Structure 1
Amino acid sequence: MKYCICYLLLLAGMLEINARRHRAKVNDKLPITLYYEALCPYCMQFVTEQLNPAMIRQDRLPYTELTLVPYGNARENEAGNVACQHGVDECELNAWHACILEHHDVIESLKLIACMMRSRKNKLDKCADRYNINVTAVKDCKKSRSVDDILQKYAVATNRVPHSGVPAVAIDNVYNDQEQEYISENFDAAFCAKYETKFDKKLPNCA
């Protein structure tokens, strides 16, 4: 009986240590904000070849506070009408992305958006089937609201950042125009370096 009690106490202690470690990991998240537009070739390349592989394959997402802002170089006139750099189709796709972000968590949102950005057409249904994600709420969002209304808050967020083009990436809530070329081509390395500097720890698979 004494041994049993000792074992249970030891087990409880180990579980508490693991819980503390888990809480530390959850708290140590590096803010990453991507300002982009759906039909920009450079944005499509960055999301599919840099951001998504880092977040999913390299498992950076648990250590990231990721924010996606689908607006890019669009412009809003005084009446609140949005004109996108690559035309009406891009505004439509930006709005689809926005509805995804409003109705799904960041993991499902990134999966759907990265999948959709491998094409210049709306592949929502195909991507949803691929990942077995229910997108009914996304469709209701897009059907019930205007594109201008859906994109309005993303316009506000984007206009706060003096970016010179997209993709534009802010790391730890700081946008540095001089670092954009390096980040766009070496995102995972940039993420690892910033994370280690901020939290004084090296993540798995970081060089």
Structure 2
Amino acid sequence: MRAAVFVCLLLGWVGVAMPRRLRGAQADRLAITLYYEALCPYCMKFVTSQLNPSMVRQDRLPFTDLTLIPYGNAKTNDDGNVECQHGVMECELNAWHACILEHHDIAQSLKLIACMIRGKKNRLDKCADHYQIDVGDVRNCKKTRQVNDILRKYGEETARVSFMGVPAIALDHVYDADLSGNLTDNFDAIFCAKYKEKFNKQLNNCQ
């Protein structure tokens, strides 16, 4: 996987409600930033088999400052239009993800995005129905704005980081290529270790 992740080669912070059982008003959070694109096979695999299980099933989300950046290897051409590695449909899907992130907290956003990314088409309505989340604001965002406008800030965020492929994962606001490669294969174990190292706390269900 570490080597394969680079198939998606370059061509060219949100609050979470805290469970009552946690001590104090808010747990310490470890920052994780994922740079990805909607149709990259390795991004899809990482989100569905590593990130989402860790955040949801292992309950890491209350301890995570999770940021999702749906842009990946896209580029802005000379006319100011965003061109995505996997074509127009990927730009459309990235924009849908961006609208979700703009209008929903990270817990709801991750549910919707992890559900949507399992397919190669817009599954917003199906995913929203499954989780009983009102996405009228998301539809309005996508309907009333151009893809270039929706994705602009994500392109600016992505331009601040130098990576060779996606998924690219920054831990504690630092991107390291070797660590990112390891995280794509062993996300939860590394998250646990880094959390304990930073905050001197052992999370539940960590090996």
What is the TM-score of this pair, normalised by structure 2? 0.88
Q: Distance in 2 between matches of 1:79 and 1:123?
A: 30
Bigger Rg, structure 1 or 2 = 1
SS of residue paired to 2:34: strand
Report what 2:202 is aligned to: 202
Q: Distance in 2 between matches of 1:55 and 1:84?
A: 27
Report what 1:79 is aligned to: 79
1:96 aligned onto 2:96: yes
Residue correspondences, number: 188
Tell me the CA shift for residue 140 of structure 1.
0.2
Q: Distance in 2 between matches of 1:91 and 1:156?
A: 15
Tell me the CA shift for residue 56 of structure 1.
0.2
Tell me the CA shift for residue 78 of structure 1.
3.7
Q: 70-79 vs 107-116, which deviates more? A: 70-79
Q: Distance in 2 between matches of 1:92 and 1:179?
A: 30
1:160 aligned onto 2:160: yes
| Aligned partners of 2:27 and 2:62 also within 8 Å | no
What is the TM-score of this pair, normalised by structure 1? 0.88
Report the AA paired with residue 202 of structure 1.
Q
Q: Distance in 2 between matches of 1:19 and 1:165?
A: 39
Report the AA paired with residue 167 of structure 2.
P
Q: Distance in 2 between matches of 1:22 and 1:135?
A: 32
Q: Distance in 2 between matches of 1:20 and 1:34?
A: 25
What residue ranges of structure 2 are gaps of 5+ in the alignment?
A: 1-19
Report what 1:115 is aligned to: 115
SS of residue paired to 1:169: strand
Question: C-alpha deviations, 1:137-172, integer Å up to 9, x for none?
Answer: 000000000000000000000010001100000010
Report the AA paired with residue 160 of structure 1.
R
Report what 1:140 is aligned to: 140
| Aligned partners of 2:116 and 2:124 also within 8 Å | yes
Q: How much identity, in percent, do the aligned residues show?
A: 64
Report what 2:42 is aligned to: 42
Quickly say closer, same or farther: Cα 1:20–1:73, change in 2 above 3 A.
closer
Report what 1:193 is aligned to: 193
1:22 aligned to 12, 21, 24, which one? 24
Q: Distance in 1 between matches of 2:22 and 2:111?
A: 29
Tell me the CA shift for residue 199 of structure 1.
0.1
Q: Distance in 1 between matches of 2:62 and 2:201?
A: 15
What residue ranges of structure 1 are gaps of 5+ in the alignment?
A: 1-17
| Larger RCO: 1 or 2 (CA < 8 Å, sep 6+) | 2
Tell me the CA shift for residue 22 of structure 1.
2.2
Question: C-alpha deviations, 1:48-74, integer Å up to 9, x for none?
Answer: 000000000000000000000000000
Tell me the CA shift for residue 96 of structure 1.
0.1
Question: C-alpha deviations, 1:124-146, integer Å up to 9, x for none?
Answer: 00000000000000000000000
Report what 2:63 is aligned to: 63
Q: Distance in 2 between matches of 1:151 and 1:33?
A: 16
Report the AA paired with residue 39 of structure 2.
L
Tell me the CA shift for residue 20 of structure 1.
9.2
Where does structure 1 differ by over 4 angstroms across 4 or more consecutive aligned residues?
A: none
Q: Distance in 2 between matches of 1:27 and 1:79?
A: 45
Quickly say closer, same or farther: Cα 1:199–1:119, change in 2 above 3 A.
same
Q: Distance in 2 between matches of 1:20 and 1:138?
A: 31
Tell me the CA shift for residue 190 of structure 1.
1.0
